[in-house]
Amino acid sequence: MRNNQPVTQKEYKFPTHHRLISTTDKRGVIQHCNQEFVEASGYSREELIGKNHNLIRHPDMPAPVFKEMWRTLESGKCWLGIVKNRRKNGDHYWVSAFVTPVYDKGSIVGYESVRVPAFADEISRAASIYERLQSGKSAVSFAQRAIHGLERTWPSLTIGSLLTLSLGFTTGMLPAIMSLVAFGVLVVVQDIKSRNEWGKVTATRLLHKPISQMQRTLPRQSW
């Protein structure tokens, strides 16, 4: 894992209409990049071409984000995520990146990334998730997970409680207890299912926007 230093924690804002574009080979070695990418990076084109993309890696970026990115790309899918990149002088710039595999005759021959400036809310969400990941915590807090669990299981919880109460009042304790146990099992199964899904929600997926939403939020200009 490359640790580029020094870092200033000073943010560099690049113009909102800029599209930072780079293409790489299958190992992530930069083959081409546009002038806007060169300017944002602070390196010269000569310093960038032929280097691995980790040249601009910021040390605040957690390794699992890139692991997830590579897993997605190598499986032939596109990856969307918020990335903090380091400039040559140690400043940083946040991008919303859209990375795609490039195919030739049906096989992946490289990758391409198009980046736009990330929005303020995306940056603050990403910064807090990445900080948690860097300090060895899960991407989301216990409270967030609990809320997520409740969102998934509240219909069963409500129906189960009402049924149990009404059975308790009308037919007695035994059917009420049986109903309580049945709904308890249902809620636990739903919760486990939801937790499994939640577990798969990595930092980057949390930050993803559907492509349609991303395109809507981009200034109207062709890439």
Ligand X SMILES: Cc1cc2nc3c(=O)[nH]c(=O)nc-3n(C[C@H](O)[C@H](O)[C@H](O)COP(=O)(O)O)c2cc1C
Whose Cβ is closer to ligand X: residue 54's or residue 190's? 54
Q: 101 forms bridges with which residues in the sheet?
A: 111
Distance in Å, CB of 157 to ligand X, minimum = 42
Whose Cβ is closer to ligand X: residue 1's or residue 120's? 1
Beta strands in the chain (DSSP E): 20-24, 30-33, 79-86, 92-104, 107-117
Distance in Å, CB of 15 to ligand X, minimum = 17
Whose Cβ is closer to ligand X: residue 65's or residue 176's? 65
DSSP 59-76: TTS-HHHHHHHHHHHHTT
Distance in Å, CB of 128 to ligand X, minimum = 19
Closest CA to 116 of 7, 10, 217: 217
Residue 200 CA to residue 115 CA, distance in Å, equals 25
Whose Cβ is closer to ligand X: residue 118's or residue 139's? 118
Whose Cβ is closer to ligand X: residue 87's or residue 152's? 87
Residues of this chain that interact with ligand X (CB under 6 A) are 1-2, 22, 24, 28, 52-54, 56-57, 61, 63, 66, 83, 85, 99, 111-113
**Amino acid in position 138:** S
Q: 11 forms bridges with which residues in the sheet?
A: 92
As given in the structure block, the two tokens for residue 191 are 């919760």
Helix, strand, coil in percent for the chain, rounding step 5: 50, 20, 30
Residue 214 CA to residue 208 CA, distance in Å, equals 9
Distance in Å, CB of 207 to ligand X, minimum = 14
Whose Cβ is closer to ligand X: residue 34's or residue 54's? 54
Distance in Å, CB of 33 to ligand X, minimum = 10
Distance in Å, CB of 138 to ligand X, minimum = 21
